[in-house]
Structure 1
Amino acid sequence: MLPLQPPVKPMLASPVDGIARTGGLLFEPKWDGFRCLVFVDPQVAQPVLLQSRTGRPLDRYFPEVLRTIAEHLDRPAVLDGELVVIRRDAAGDRLDWDALGERIHPAASRVRLLAEQTPATFIAFDLLALDDRDLTSAAQTERRELLAGLGLDHSGLRTTPVTDDPDTATAWFEVFEGAGLDGVIAKPADGHYVPGKRTMFKIKHSRTADCVVAGLRWHAKTEPGTAVGSLQLGLYDERDVLHHVGVVGAFPAAQRRALATELAELITDGEHPWLGPAAADGRRLPGSVNRWSSTEQPWVPLRPQRAVEVSYDHTEGAHPSRFRHTTQFVRWRPDREPESCRYDQLDEPTRYDLDAVLFGDVNRGVRVDE
């Protein structure tokens, strides 16, 4: 019987600036997918279980991952890693966040179809238990050595590369982003696995963009009109069409109240690019129904007359793209005309060969522009 049973809280990471050169750290590429703990016990009726970061089961959504792990790992083990979908096309291989998100679907028939069309890969980066031994109190170096000994190098099942060299980690940080990765993770070499605690470090890419503020949502725990929860962001494309690209929030309480007063004069029930006939061209709109929400989320339209600078890590989706995660407020841009907030300012990395990332080999990677 496994010494650890689900749910287990995964170990977490705190953000830091730059690659540390103090020694005593192991560095790994930071995969941008679904965090997943895998419980393997070949002696039970259901030999493989997949658990999300929040402790929920993921088994039904990734049947191909269950089969792959059961075929190639015949020892009791608990693995920590990431589920990703790799898109392969003429421009090279790249992580596909959109395709991964579509895998969380309630219909069993749809799940089976997507498992064939966009199969997921599990990339292991830690080992919490092996056979009857709980490894959470073992050093990261020992856990990593045992993980490497499992030989997880198959289609749909891989082990992330690792290095203790800051120069190599810096090179990874600079070039692997072009394959869709988030940055670099640093782990204390002698560190234990501490569930739910931020004992690792993450170094992520960050950029800024000037966006149009074209709407808002009221804060959920206040009376409507008294505090702003988030601002709806837009960017203009080459046809001067304003697209919804994401939100910015996480304001302090005092700023939420101040924004409610400051933006009140921009609230409109008249013509707006995201309302009525002007929005009937299939563009992505704020508050729309999606796989995470079965109902429209209420938002308040604002006349698109103000610009704001936000920081972001990645965009996703085909053009017109959107911000992958919630952005961070940097500053207001009263010097920018809203019409000047356009897609052409977004900085995306040069595409990079994903196979090079899987093998941790910068030199074998091929950039698309070469």
Structure 2
Amino acid sequence: MAINLDVAPMLAKAVPSVPEPDSVEGGLVYEPKWDGFRGIVAFDGEHVEIGSRGAKPLTRYFPELVEAFARLLPEPCVLDGEIVISAGAIGGQRLDWEQLSQRIHPAASRVELLARETPAMFVAFDLLEVGGRSLIEQPFSERRAALERLVGGIGHPIHLTRITSDVDLARRWFEEFEGAGLDGVVAKPLAAPYAPGKRVMLKAKHHRTADVVVVGYRVHTSGRGVGSLLLGLHDDSGELRNVGGASAFSDARRLELIDELEPYVIRDPNGEAIRGETDRSRFSSSRDVSFVRLRPELVAEVRYDQLEGARFRHTAQFARWRPDREPRSCTFDQLDRPLAYDLGDVLA
């Protein structure tokens, strides 16, 4: 069976906080928000295919999961869930995005090696089809019950996500589970059918602010204006470290930023702007990673959700300039790091 990659996963709309259960007709239930690769898994009783949110086939990158699905799933089905990798010793495990991202590699030998060294897990949170019968039109309450019957007792590496109707518990998850690498809570309408590509679910994610040094900018792909700002923070030794970028500017704002940043552009003796390059990754191998260097004198306040190592996990959002802050005061000490929480307790 070849999975129909045109079946887009159901999506979630961002909300500022975990919503009340009666804020949606029919009520809400809550799940942890996993931070991995979204995966639609199709099993025909013999063969397995894994599709992604962006219609990119993931099957070849996770051979250990393909084997596990074929061996453990009791009957043909189509599952919706998240592919994740954990790191750390038992009692202190957390999700590891860096290890997960390394799996998108062109060399099959590399993928096979990583599948043995850092095997992935699949956390199931919805069921689109079982035994040849479509469940898409069924309310989530019925799909969840069928999902529990199908995979509830399968065991590692296929896990059933937690669920609760208790909003106070969901808000506790929101605070505690971040320590295991999760990034919020998803609220699902109990009465809603599965809606491919539509934002029916609600997601509450962590948002924080930090003051950062702007060290450069990339030109927008259109060739006009600033596409993104490159951000830095000073480490304990005083070295300015790249921590990610900020983007999502309007057309007008992109052009304004060119003028605002012009006095800080570093130029060679001929007056040409000096450019640099950020490190390439498996996701940017064919992308232009060059940027215009700026004197590290501008401080900006940005909004971010969480850290991955010493970098912002996702692209930050520009909030405002901070002319009252000295660049040297922008250090890692200001960042809010969640208390550690064991991933095993989340999966339990």
TM-score (norm 2): 0.93
How far apart in 2 are the matches of 1:92 and 1:222?
46
**1:149 equivalent in structure 2:** 149
Matched with 2:40 is: 37
The reply on whether 1:188 has 2:189 as its aligned counterpart is yes
**Letter of the structure 1 residue corresponding to residue 252 of structure 2:** A
Distance across 2 between alignment mates of 1:27 and 1:262: 44
List structure 1 segments (4+ residues) > 4 angstroms apart after TM superposition.
none
2:291 matched to which residue of 1?
299
Partner Cα separation in structure 1 for residue 128 and residue 79 of structure 2: 6
Task: Work out the CA distance in 2 between the residues paired with 1:139 and 1:196.
Answer: 17
Matches within 5 A, 1:258-337: 258-269=256-267, 287-295=278-286, 297-317=289-309, 321-337=310-326
CA distance in 1: counterparts of 2:234 and 2:90, whole angstroms: 29
- Cα contact 1:7–1:51 (8 A) shared by 2: no
Are the counterparts in 1 of residues 18 and 204 from structure 2 also a CA contact under 8 Å? Answer: yes
Q: Which residue of 2 aligns with 1:340?
A: 329
1:139–1:191: 8 Å Cα contact kept in structure 2?
A: yes
3-state SS of 2:282 partner: coil
Kindly indicate whether residue 19 of structure 2 is the aligned counterpart of residue 20 of structure 1: yes
DSSP-derived class of the 1:150 partner: helix
Contact 2:178–2:184 (CA under 8 A) maintained in structure 1: yes
Q: 1:270 to 1:316 in 2, by over 3 A?
A: farther
Say which SS state the counterpart of residue 290 (structure 2) adopts.
coil
Q: Look up the SS of the partner of 1:149 in the other structure.
A: helix
Q: Are the counterparts in 1 of residues 18 and 203 from structure 2 also a CA contact under 8 Å?
A: no
Q: CA deviation at 1:269?
A: 2.9
Cα distance in 2 between the residues matched to 1:55 and 1:251? 26
Query: What corresponds to 1:366 in structure 2?
Result: none
Distance 1:269-1:91 versus aligned 2 partners, 3 A rule = farther
How far did 1:42 drift? 1.0
2:227 aligned residue: 229
Using the TM superposition, give the Cα deviation of residue 79 of structure 1 relative to its aligned residue in structure 2, in angstroms.
0.4
Compute the displacement of 1:91 (Å): 6.3
Which letter maps to 1:233?
L
Q: What displacement does 1:133 show?
A: 1.1
Taking the TM superposition and a 5 Å limit, the aligned residue runs for 1:5-154 are 5-23=4-22, 24-43=27-46, 47-89=47-89, 92-152=92-152, 153-154=154-155
Q: Which whole-Å deviations, capped at 9, do the CAs of 1:137-163 have from their partners, x for residues lacking one?
A: 000000000000013441211010101
Corresponding residue SS for 1:122 = strand
**Separation in 2, partners of 1:343, 1:306:** 17
- The one-letter amino acid paired with 1:148 is E
1:239 lines up with 2:231 in the alignment: no
Q: CA deviation at 1:218?
A: 1.2
Query: Secondary structure in 2 aligned to 1:137?
Result: coil
Number of positions where the alignment pairs a residue of Structure 1 with one of Structure 2: 338
Checking the alignment, whether the CA contact within 8 Å between 1:51 and 1:57 is kept in structure 2 is yes
CA distance change for structure 1 residues 286 and 32 in 2, over 3 Å: closer, same or farther?
farther
Contact 2:91 2:342 in 1 (8 A): no
Indicate yes or no: 2:152 matched with 1:160: no
Alignment of 1:176 with 2:180, yes or no, is no
Contact 1:232 1:286 (C-alpha < 8 Å) held by counterparts:
no
Q: For structure 1, which segment, 17-26 or 72-81, has the greater mean C-alpha deviation from structure 2 after superposition?
A: 17-26
Q: Is 69-78 or 294-303 further displaced after alignment? A: 294-303
Deviation at 1:26, TM superposition (A): 1.0
- Structure 1 residue 222, shift from structure 2 partner: 3.0
Identity %: 50
Distance 2:7 2:20 in 1: 32
Residues 244 and 286 of structure 1 are in contact (CA less than 8 Å); yes or no, is this contact kept in structure 2? no
| SS of structure 1 residue aligned to 2:253 | helix
In the aligned structure 2, how far is the partner of 1:124 from the partner of 1:145? 13
Q: TM-score, normalised by structure 1?
A: 0.88
Distance 1:76 1:6 in 2: 17
The 2-side partners of 1:293 and 1:252 are apart by 23
Deviations 1:15-65 (A, max 9, x none): 00112224200100000000000001115xxx1110011111111110000
Quick one: structure 1 residues 238 and 105, their matched pair in 2 at CA, closer, same or farther if it must change by over 3 Å?
same
1:345-367 per-position Cα deviation (integer Å, ceiling 9, x unaligned): 111101101121113xxxxxxxx
Alpha-carbon distance change, 20 to 71 in structure 1, aligned in 2, over 3 angstroms: same
Maintained 8 Å contact 1:315/1:323: yes
One-letter identity of the residue aligned with 2:131: D
Tell me the CA shift for residue 88 of structure 1: 2.7
